[in-house]
Amino acid sequence: MISKDIAKLIGEAMKAHDTVRLSTLKLLSSAFNYEKIEKQHDLTGDEELNVIRKQAKQRKDSIDAYEKAGRSDLAESEKLELKILQEFLPPEMDEAELNQLISDSINQLGAKTIADLGRVIGVVKSKAPSVEGGKIAELVRQKLVTSH
């Protein structure tokens, strides 16, 4: 369980005087605690990964916003935090593998139109939980639109 290791990692970051790592790990620990309180039980491994994915998505969104606003200094800070969070996530599926999975799912379901979007996304997400939902939706939409 990742949450059990966080306290040890926070201590190591304190000793190393790594302020970015320390603050990121503290925020992650806090997010785990909020989720634990909300769910009213100890988090499972999958629930912990979902919390980390949510935190990583927030960083990606912030990076985009800061870059659009011309604040590369703040974007760099968010990138450092994102890199730390990604240490706890399984590696993402590569683009070619994801495209193949989407194509297979479309064929398997007999999806033809954009109306089938939700069904295809659901199947792909169940087979590739580490991939961000927005990315899956975008790729599925492209394939369904270009196929007809």
What's the pLDDT at 115?
86
Cα dihedral 126, 133, 141, 120, rounded to 10, equals 10
For tokens 């992650």, name the residue. Answer: 28
Give the chain's mean pLDDT. Answer: 89
What's the pLDDT at 82?
94
- CB burial class (10 A; 0-12, 13-18, 19+) of residue 74? middle
Top CATH class, 95-147: mainly alpha
What's the pLDDT at 62?
95
pTM of the model: 0.71
Residue 116 has pLDDT above 80, yes or no: yes
pLDDT 10s digits, 106-115: 888 888 888 8
* Residue ranges of the chain assigned to CATH 1.10.1510.10: 2-86
Q: Read off the pLDDT of each residue in 20-32 and give the average, rounded to a whole number.
A: 95
* Residue ranges of the chain assigned to CATH 1.10.10: 95-147
What's the pLDDT at 69?
94
Q: Read off the pLDDT of each residue in 23-45 and give the average, rounded to a whole number.
A: 93
pLDDT 10s digits, 57-99: 999 999 999 999 999 999 999 999 999 999 998 877 788 888 8
Tokens for 135?
């990315």
What's the pLDDT at 37?
94
In percent, the amount of the chain with pLDDT more than 90 equals 49
17 confidence band (pLDDT: 50, 70, 90) = very high
As a whole number of angstroms, the distance between CA 54 and CA 97 comes to 23
As a whole number of angstroms, the distance between CA 91 and CA 97 comes to 13
As a whole number of angstroms, the distance between CA 123 and CA 101 comes to 9
- CATH number for 2-86: choose from 1.10.3720.10, 3.40.50.720, 3.20.20.80, 1.10.1510.10: 1.10.1510.10
